[in-house]
C-alpha cells in the first residue's frame, strides 16, 4: 500500500502541473493576450492534433523523418565503430587523427547544408548525408575512448587465451567500449533528429519539418495544425530518447556504471 | 598497443573523459537526468612533473597533431587545382573569394547581426537555464511537477519551433533571439540541476556546522561543486545556439551568414557559397575553442585536480 501511495503521489504532481500549463495556454489565447495568428488556443491545437493523428500525411511525414534519422545514424555508427577501433589500436594513428576529428566535430554540420542540397537535391540522400556527417564525429571520438579504456587485464587475458581477430573484436573490444558508445549514441541521436528536421525545413526533404513549414505557409487557419505538428516532433524526440534510455539500461545492466546507478536508486529510496 | 608505456603517455589525455560521460547518467533517479554532458575530449591536461620528458613528448604530440590537417589541406589544394566540377571549385579560388568577399569586401557586415543574435540568445538562454536549474534544485515539488514538461521541451528538436517563432514574434530580430534562447535554455538547465544535485550532502552539513551564510554557501559549496557540469551544459547550449543561429537565418531572413550562404546557393554563386561555408566553419570552430579556453581558465583548479588524480591511478 505504501508503495502504491508513493507512486500515485509521484504521478499526481506532474499531472496537476501539466493541467495548469494547458489551462494557462488556453487562458492567454482566449483572453486575447496572443492573437490566433500568433498562438492558437490549446483546445484548437489539441483538436488539430487529434485530426492530424488520423491522417496519412502526418504518419508519412513522421516515417520520412524517422527514416532519415535511422539510416543516417546507422551509417555513422558503422563507420565510427570501424574507423574508431582502427584508430584506437595504434597510438600514432590516434594522435594524428584526433586533431582532424576534433576540428570536424567543432564545425557546425549545418554549414555544409547548402552544398549538400546543391549536390543531392531535396532528397532522402541529402538528409541521410547531413545526419551521418553530424553524428559521425562525436561518435567516432566516443568509440576511440571506449576502445582505449579497455581493462588491460581483460585485454591480456584475451591474448593469453588466444582470442584474436574478429572474435576478440566482438567479444572483448565492443563490450568494453559499449558504455562509451551508448553515451555517444544518445548524444548523436538527439543531434540526428535536429539535423533531420533542419534538412526538411531548409532543404525541403519530406518529413515533419517540411510539414510544419507547409502548415505555416497555408495561412492562419492551419496554424493549429502547425502547432500540432510541432508537438508531434517533440513526442518523436521523447520516443527516440526514451527508447535509447531503455535499451541502454537493458543492454548495459552488467556494466559497472549501471550497477552503481541501480544501487544509488535503491539507496535513495 | 603492444607496450605498457603507450598507455601511460595517453593517460593525461583520456584521464578526464570516461567519468563525466557515465557519471552524468548514473546515480540520478529522475527521468529528466539525461546526460547531455559531452565528453570533454578537447581537453589536453598536462601531466605534472617529469618536465623534460614532458617537453619532448609535447613536441612529438604537437607534430603528430599537426601533420594530418596540413597534409589534408595541401591535398585538397592540389587535387582541386584543376577541378572543373561546378560544385567543387579549386581551393585557391575559394580562398581568393574568402579574401575578396570577407576580408576586403562587405560580406563581413553579415557577421555582426549573426553574432549579435547569437550572443543575446545564448547569454539570455544560459542565464535562464542556470537560474531555472537552481530554482528547480531548491524546490523539489516544482521539480517533480515540471519534470515531464521540461523533458519534453528539452528533447523537442528546436528548429521545428522556428515557424512558430515567426508567428509569435514576426520576422524581426526578436524571433531569432527567442529561438536561440529557447534552444540554449534546456541543456544549461538540466546540467545545472544535475550538477547541483550531485554535490555531496556532507559538504552542506559542514557548511551549516561552520555557520556559513547562505551567500557563502552558494559561492563556496554550490558553485564550485556544480560548475564543471554547468560548463558542460553551457557548451552543449552553445552548440545548439550556433545551429539555431544559422537555421533562423536560412528561413525568411534577409541578413546574417546563414542567409548569405543560402542566397549564394540559390543564385548558383558556388564559389561565394563556399567562401561562406569556410567562414562559418572557422567561426563555429573558433567559438567552440574559445569556450573550451575560457572554461579551462575558469575551471583550471578542477581539471588540475583531476589530472593529478589520474596520474596516481
Q: Is B34's CB within 8 Å of A96's CB?
A: no
Give B194's contacts in chain A (Cβ within 8 Å). none
Does any domain span residue A13?
Answer: no
A232: domain CATH number?
1.10.3720.10
What is the average pLDDT value for chain A, to the nearest integer?
Answer: 86
Give A107's contacts in chain B (Cβ within 8 Å). 281, 284-285
* Phi and psi torsions of B85, nearest 5°: -65, 130
Does any domain span residue A1?
Answer: no
Q: What is the pLDDT of residue A267?
A: 40
Cell digits of residue B168 = 509569435
Range of the domain at A179: 42-268
The predicted model gives B112-132 an average pLDDT of: 96
pLDDT tier for residue B300 given thresholds of 50, 70 and 90: confident
Domains of chain B, CATH where assigned = 108-312 (1.10.3720.10)
Environment class of A100 (CB within 10 Å of its CB; exposed 0-12, middle 13-18, buried 19+): middle
pLDDT > 90? residue B56:
no
- Nearest by CB to B162, from A102, A201, A237: name it: A201
pLDDT > 90? residue A80:
yes
Is A117 near chain B, with CB under 8 Å? yes
Distance CA B113, CA B263 (A): 16
Q: What is the ipTM of this complex?
A: 0.85
Task: Name the strand (E) or helix (H) holding B128.
Answer: helix B111-138
Does any domain span residue A88?
Answer: yes
pLDDT tier for residue B54 given thresholds of 50, 70 and 90: confident
Cell digits of residue B288 = 567552440
Q: What is the pLDDT of residue B44?
A: 46
Q: Minimal Cα–Cα distance from B148 to chain A, Å?
A: 7
Does any domain span residue A229?
Answer: yes
Is A233 near chain B, with CB under 8 Å? yes
Instruction: Find, in chain B, the residue whose alpha carbon is nearest to that of A134.
Output: B243
Q: What is the pLDDT of residue B1?
A: 34
Q: Is A183's CB within 8 Å of B22's CB?
A: yes
pLDDT single digits (tens) A132-184: 999 999 999 999 988 888 888 887 888 888 877 788 888 888 888 888 888 88
Contact A130/A199 with Cβ under 8 angstroms?
yes
Q: What is the pLDDT of residue A257?
A: 59
Is A213 near chain B, with CB under 8 Å? yes
Q: What is the pLDDT of residue A5?
A: 66
Give how many domains chain A has, as a whole number. 1
Three-class secondary structure of residue B211 per DSSP: coil
Is A142 near chain B, with CB under 8 Å? yes
Give the DSSP letter of residue B47.
P
- CA-only gyration radius of chain B, Å: 23
What is the average pLDDT value for chain B, to the nearest integer?
Answer: 81
Three-point CA angle A136, A140, A143, nearest 5°:
140
Q: Minimal Cα–Cα distance from A44 to chain B, Å?
A: 15
Contact B237/B122 with Cβ under 8 angstroms?
yes
Q: Minimal Cα–Cα distance from A202 to chain B, Å?
A: 7
Amino acid at each position: 500500500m505504501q508503495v502504491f501511495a508513493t507512486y500515485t503521489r509521484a504521478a499526481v504532481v506532474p499531472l496537476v502541473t501539466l493541467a495548469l500549463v494547458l489551462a494557462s495556454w488556453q487562458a492567454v489565447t482566449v483572453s486575447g493576450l496572443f492573437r490566433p495568428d500568433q498562438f492558437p488556443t490549446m483546445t484548437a491545437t489539441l483538436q488539430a492534433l487529434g485530426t492530424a493523428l488520423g491522417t496519412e500525411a502526418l504518419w508519412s511525414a513522421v516515417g520520412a523523418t524517422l527514416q532519415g534519422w535511422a539510416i543516417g545514424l546507422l551509417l555513422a555508427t558503422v563507420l565510427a565503430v570501424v574507423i574508431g577501433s582502427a584508430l584506437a589500436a595504434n597510438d600514432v594513428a590516434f594522435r594524428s587523427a584526433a586533431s582532424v576529428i576534433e576540428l570536424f566535430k567543432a564545425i557546425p554540420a549545418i554549414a555544409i547544408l547548402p552544398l549538400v542540397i546543391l549536390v543531392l537535391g531535396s532528397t532522402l540522400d541529402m538528409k541521410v548525408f547531413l545526419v551521418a556527417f553530424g553524428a559521425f564525429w562525436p561518435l567516432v571520438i566516443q568509440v576511440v575512448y571506449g576502445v582505449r579504456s579497455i581493462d588491460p587485464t581483460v585485454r591480456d587475458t584475451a591474448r593469453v587465451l588466444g582470442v584474436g581477430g574478429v572474435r576478440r573484436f566482438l567479444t572483448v573490444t565492443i563490450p568494453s567500449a559499449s558504455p562509451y558508445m551508448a553515451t555517444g549514441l544518445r548524444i548523436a541521436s538527439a543531434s540526428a533528429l535536429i539535423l533531420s528536421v533542419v534538412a526538411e525545413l531548409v532543404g525541403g526533404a519530406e518529413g515533419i519539418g517540411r510539414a510544419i513549414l507547409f502548415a505555416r505557409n497555408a495561412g492562419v487557419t492551419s496554424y493549429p495544425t502547425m502547432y500540432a505538428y510541432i508537438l508531434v516532433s517533440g513526442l518523436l524526440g521523447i520516443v527516440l530518447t526514451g527508447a535509447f534510455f531503455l535499451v541502454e539500461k537493458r543492454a548495459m545492466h552488467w556494466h559497472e556504471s549501471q550497477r552503481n546507478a541501480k544501487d544509488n536508486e535503491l539507496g535513495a529510496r | 598497443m603492444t607496450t605498457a608505456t603507450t598507455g601511460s603517455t595517453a593517460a593525461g589525455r583520456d584521464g578526464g573523459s570516461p567519468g563525466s560521460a557515465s557519471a552524468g547518467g548514473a546515480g540520478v533517479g529522475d527521468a529528466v537526468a539525461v546526460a547531455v554532458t559531452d565528453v570533454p575530449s578537447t581537453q589536453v591536461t598536462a601531466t605534472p612533473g617529469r618536465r623534460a620528458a614532458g617537453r619532448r613528448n609535447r613536441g612529438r604530440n604537437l607534430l603528430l597533431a599537426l601533420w594530418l590537417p596540413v597534409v589534408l589541406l595541401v591535398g585538397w589544394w592540389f587535387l582541386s587545382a584543376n577541378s572543373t566540377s561546378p560544385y567543387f571549385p579549386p581551393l585557391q579560388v575559394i580562398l581568393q573569394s574568402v579574401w575578396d568577399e570577407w576580408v576586403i569586401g562587405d560580406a563581413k557586415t553579415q557577421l555582426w547581426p549573426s553574432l549579435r543574435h547569437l550572443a543575446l540568445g545564448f547569454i539570455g538562454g544560459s542565464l535562464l537555464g542556470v537560474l531555472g536549474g537552481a530554482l528547480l534544485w531548491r524546490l523539489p515539488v516544482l521539480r517533480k511537477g515540471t519534470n515531464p514538461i521540461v523533458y519534453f521541451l528539452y528533447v523537442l528538436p528546436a528548429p521545428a519551433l522556428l515557424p512558430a517563432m515567426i508567428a509569435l514574434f514576426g520576422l524581426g530580430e526578436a524571433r531569432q533571439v527567442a529561438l536561440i534562447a529557447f534552444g540554449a535554455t534546456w541543456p544549461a538547465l538540466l546540467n545545472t540541476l544535475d550538477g547541483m544535485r550531485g554535490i555531496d550532502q556532507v559538504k552542506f552539513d559542514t557548511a551549516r556546522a561552520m555557520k556559513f551564510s547562505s551567500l557563502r554557501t552558494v559561492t563556496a559549496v554550490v558553485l564550485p561543486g556544480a560548475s564543471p557540469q554547468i560548463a558542460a551544459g553551457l557548451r552543449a547550449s552553445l552548440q545548439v545556439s550556433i545551429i539555431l543561429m544559422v537555421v533562423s537565418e536560412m528561413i525568411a531572413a534577409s541578413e546574417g551568414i546563414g542567409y548569405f550562404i543560402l542566397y549564394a546557393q540559390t543564385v548558383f554563386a558556388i564559389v561565394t557559397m563556399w567562401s561562406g561555408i569556410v567562414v562559418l566553419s572557422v567561426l563555429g570552430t573558433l567559438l567552440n575553442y574559445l569556450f573550451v579556453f575560457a572554461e579551462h581558465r575558469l575551471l583550471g583548479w578542477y581539471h588540475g585536480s583531476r589530472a593529478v588524480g589520474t596520474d596516481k591511478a
